[in-house]
Structure 1
Amino acid sequence: MRHCRRLLAVVLLLFLASPSLAAGFDAIAALVDRGFRVGAEARLLDDGSVLGAIAPERQLSPASVSKSYLAAAALDCFGPQHRFTTRLLSEAAPDEEGVLTGDLILEGGGDPALTTEDLWRLVQRLHQAGVSEVRGRLLVSQWRYGPVECITTDRCETRERTTNAYSALLSSAGVNYGNWCVTVAPAERAGEPASVTGCDSQAAILAIDNRVVTRPDDSGTQLSAERVTRDGGDVMVLRGQISTNAHPRTLYRASSDPADQMALTLLAMLDQAGIAVSGGADTTQAEPPPTARVLAAVDGKPLQELLLRAMHYSNNYMADMLTLNLVETPRADLRLGGARLEAFVAGIPDHGPVTLLSGSGLTPENRTSARGANTLLESLYHRPSLFPSFVATLQSPDNGVMRFIRRGSETFQRHVMLKTGTLNQPVTVRAVSGYFRTASGRWGVFSVLVNGTGSTPYLSWPEVLDPLAQDLEEMIAQH
């Protein structure tokens, strides 16, 4: 009997204590009652006052909030103005007639935003260097990293087929975010096959299986695209219909081998520029010979601009490319990149445990806590040379590119800067982390990590953002 009374007393104490654990997050706390695992914390940066907390040290999946760790580590490692360089090299030199007798080597520099526009500039600079013909091969060198082992289901499946762009595979010699691009336009008359062309060259680079039919005006346009691997090459399979009066539609799908995609794309561009390559194109994991000379080079955009794209659009390809670039040794993989991220976090005082197997957050094994995420944000706030570039990577709900974050009152919309994270498998993850400014102008940080279980229902973003906005609005108004 005495034992039962003690147990009852403990239960009552826990019951009475639970409201204080959720103090400041009263609306978010309703998710706990629905069976979701929640970690949350909000605090002011000037005096460390905790305005709200729910199990702030609980280790949970942050999904794409992992990208905040990647952004901080990349800024710390490279600095905001760092640029990744892509080069064309050869051991040979062009003769008086512009003939290069030897292999032309593209050295992938790991630029996560390298596009065909950059390749065109590279080809133009090769022409300016006096090269008009290559009597050898075009070799694409991915010696820094690539092909990178896939450690998520979507990326592993992409080697054979894919219906999306976000699961792009990784290589230091990747181009166009590891995606093929095609444009679908209506034929002149209904009943005819649609007109399909590649986006990057007049000549066909990618094999196309066109099953799209042109329909009469205003019939509606419904298109589906699947990139499959057939006989060792990529094929874009297109199905559906397009109206005769419809505008052309552009479709992107991840390639099965980004370095091979680079080789085929660059070879087509050289041909279009009138620079013939007699030996065809191939890829290699070998580093260019030390005797090779640079014939042309192109610098990518500054890191701070890369991070804007990677964070605002939650670009998984860019985030994991940057993660791989953190590894100083050749043949990098995401495990080594994750170890570099974890080593960076270990240098942040009082952060606590963290598990980062990727910078994108696609790996469901990633773990951090709400308190840890806030500690990361606080550490960047106290680094004046990096903070402006870092905070710019976060979105304001009032005008961010992701429309689903435009929730809550004007107070929430205009006083908060955030990064979101979403996963639906193996469990639901909805995570939000960022800064807020109070009514009196004080800076604060907040992080809310919500993880489902095998028995919890689907969780939409409004079910998280609306109560979060309500809780933060009260904190902002009261301080």
Structure 2
Amino acid sequence: MIKSFRSLILTCALLPLALPLAAAPLNTSLPPKVAQALKASQLGDNALSLVMLPLTGPGTPTVYNADTSVQPASTMKLVTTFSALEMLGPNYQWKTEFYTDGTLSDGILHGNLYLKGGGDPKLNMEKLWLLLRDLRANGVTQVTGDLVLDRSYFVQPALPDFDDDGGDDNAPFLVRPDALMINLKALRFVARNDSGKVLVAVEPPIATIRVDNQVKPLNSKDCSGDVRYNPVTQPDGSISVVVSGELGIGCSSQTYLSLLDHPAYAAGAVRAIWGELGGSIEGADREAAVPKDARLLARAFSPDLAEIIRDINKYSNNTMAQQLYLSLGEKFRTDADTDDGRAAQRVIRQWLAQKGITSPHLVMENGSGLSRAERVSARELANMLQAAWKSPYQAEFMSSMPIVGLDGTMRKRLKNTAMAGEGHIKTGTLNTVRAIAGFSRDSNGNTWAVVAILNDPKPFGASSVLDQVLLSLYAQPRAVDTSPKL
């Protein structure tokens, strides 16, 4: 199979680019209002790569600057999620398991408790709580040995840190993937002034995270006060979060921070919930693989992949996209692959080649678009969308994208226009990138694949250009309905 994939890739490399989009006639210039919007934003015409391809009904494709290698930002998630839908299947699930190498007697587990990660992108606190409840229901109350974390499921690539916005190490959107990722490694801090006294809570209540509450309560009901959260690492390795500022009566403030590495967060979350359930673990926290003769104690499954990709695409979740990308690599990794990242890029290229899609510009680093290395052309992405429209999983893929003017990252865009509700569009944003890609309808009810990617050192305000792309697509000449009436 691998040899046939390689020969197909070599064959496709010799073919003309994007044959489906080469059919005449073609519009090879920008729609007038899009050109005007570019000029108003002080952007050159070549900053934009654009493809608008009719999928149903009549329409003339627009292909402009479509074969330029560009940074796609989060529109790259469409490649990751659609390829996963087809190669893993919409009902694919991940699993997380507890094992032991000891014996259970009268509620006491004499031995170690192993937590084996399976790469679940959505192992949240509720799911972990249920898994620990199952462990308790199976008769375990006390563990005499260690809490051992098995994070060996992924072979992680060595990737550079992403510092597009100056490198805020505590930003949850920068969390790296992990085979045992719990709750996206996020700590939620909530400050409340309910009765003239400010209380600050952290969830989950991990023992190594301490709160230094310095918030000044205000007597007024003005909720405009600024509450700040400043983490400070202590000599013993614990982290104190200094919470300062002012908060009015009846007001609250919250933020999410990523302050611990994956092992510390996972172990801390397990111990916090297990303690709340009345359990105890006497040993230390450490990492090791589950022994081959270990006994399964409890298992939890993730939601189906079709649900996972909704979180990835609608809310542009970078970490979940990277988890999915590595999961593809793990599934199809061979001895020739040095890590799951390289394996994922290889199988995605092979999958595209099988569909007859030539992709010389495609470069995937982590599959999320949160990267300066990732590249694609507008034509390649549009060809993939065209293939997705014909896929048995088209409905699942399309419904995972934000609906224009209604939800996800498109919730506030084009809200009060004729475009509201007419498109399923994935957005992408980096410091030098603004992008949209997905499916959108025109005023005749016909569906188009649309890809518009702006690369410029200063694309500020350029989202208006991309909005104008959708408006121009919608404003196709009104067609006469000649369909028979019953």
Q: For the superposition of Structure 1 and Structure 2, which TM-score range results when normalised by the shorter chain?
A: 0.7 to 0.9
User: Kindly tell me: are residues 327 and 417 of structure 1, through their superposed partners in 2, closer, same or farther at Cα, counting changes over 3 Å?
Assistant: same
What residue number does 2:386 align with? 378
How far did 1:381 drift? Answer: 1.1
2:441 to 437, 440, 443: 437
For each residue in 1:99-136, what CA deviation from the matched residue of structure 2 results, as whole angstroms up to 9, or x when unmatched?
Answer: 11111000011111111111111111011111111110
- Paired-residue identity, %: 23
1:135 to 114, 126, 144: 144
User: Kindly tell me: are residues 341 and 20 of structure 1, through their superposed partners in 2, closer, same or farther at Cα, counting changes over 3 Å?
Assistant: closer
Tell me if the contact between 1:229 and 1:256 (Cα under 8 Å) persists in the aligned partners.
no
What residue number does 1:254 align with? 258
What residue number does 2:292 align with? 290
AA paired with 2:433?
Answer: V
Tell me if the contact between 2:327 and 2:340 (Cα under 8 Å) persists in the aligned partners.
no
How far did 1:439 drift? Answer: 3.7
2:178 to 167, 171, 182: 171
1:74 to 63, 67, 84: 84
Distance in 2 of aligned mates of 1:272 and 1:67: 38
Q: Is residue 447 from structure 1 mapped to residue 451 from structure 2 by the alignment? A: yes
User: SS of 2:321's equivalent?
Assistant: helix
User: SS of 1:216's equivalent?
Assistant: coil
* TM-score, with structure 1 as normaliser: 0.84
Tell me if the contact between 2:108 and 2:143 (Cα under 8 Å) persists in the aligned partners.
yes
Distance in 2 of aligned mates of 1:69 and 1:438: 24
Tell me if the contact between 1:323 and 1:334 (Cα under 8 Å) persists in the aligned partners.
yes
Matches within 5 A, 1:374-413: 374-384=382-392, 386-402=393-409, 405-407=412-414, 410-413=417-420
Distance in 2 of aligned mates of 1:172 and 1:25: 49
Matches within 5 A, 1:155-170: 162-170=169-177
How far did 1:212 drift? Answer: 2.5
Tell me if the contact between 2:208 and 2:239 (Cα under 8 Å) persists in the aligned partners.
no
How far did 1:53 drift? Answer: 2.1
1:307 to 306, 309, 318: 309
The runs of 5 or more residues in structure 1 that have no matched partner are 1-18
What residue number does 1:117 align with? 126
* TM-score, with structure 2 as normaliser: 0.83
Tell me if the contact between 1:221 and 1:240 (Cα under 8 Å) persists in the aligned partners.
no
How far did 1:151 drift? Answer: 2.2
Matches within 5 A, 1:255-270: 255-270=259-274
2:188 to 181, 187, 193: 181
Distance in 2 of aligned mates of 1:321 and 1:443: 31
What residue number does 2:471 align with? 470
What residue number does 2:23 align with? none
The runs of 5 or more residues in structure 2 that have no matched partner are 1-25, 481-486
How far did 1:469 drift? Answer: 3.0
User: Kindly tell me: are residues 119 and 205 of structure 1, through their superposed partners in 2, closer, same or farther at Cα, counting changes over 3 Å?
Assistant: farther
Distance in 2 of aligned mates of 1:246 and 1:347: 59
AA paired with 1:364?
Answer: R
Tell me if the contact between 1:221 and 1:246 (Cα under 8 Å) persists in the aligned partners.
no
How far did 1:326 drift? Answer: 1.1
For each residue in 1:326-384, what CA deviation from the matched residue of structure 2 results, as whole angstroms up to 9, or x when unmatched?
Answer: 12259945454444434433333134321111211011221111111111111111112
AA paired with 1:237?
Answer: V
Matches within 5 A, 1:77-96: 77-95=87-105
1:101 to 96, 110, 119: 110
What residue number does 2:38 align with? 31
AA paired with 1:298?
Answer: A
User: SS of 1:21's equivalent?
Assistant: coil
Tell me if the contact between 2:378 and 2:451 (Cα under 8 Å) persists in the aligned partners.
yes
User: Kindly tell me: are residues 256 and 157 of structure 1, through their superposed partners in 2, closer, same or farther at Cα, counting changes over 3 Å?
Assistant: farther
AA paired with 2:297?
Answer: L
AA paired with 2:47?
Answer: R
Greater shift in the superposed pair: 177-186 or 78-87:
177-186
Greater shift in the superposed pair: 122-131 or 48-57:
48-57
What residue number does 1:369 align with? 377
Please report the RMSD computed on the Cα atoms of aligned residues, expressed in angstroms. Answer: 2.9
User: Kindly tell me: are residues 147 and 40 of structure 1, through their superposed partners in 2, closer, same or farther at Cα, counting changes over 3 Å?
Assistant: closer
Tell me if the contact between 1:196 and 1:210 (Cα under 8 Å) persists in the aligned partners.
yes
How far did 1:222 drift? Answer: 1.2
How far did 1:204 drift? Answer: 4.0
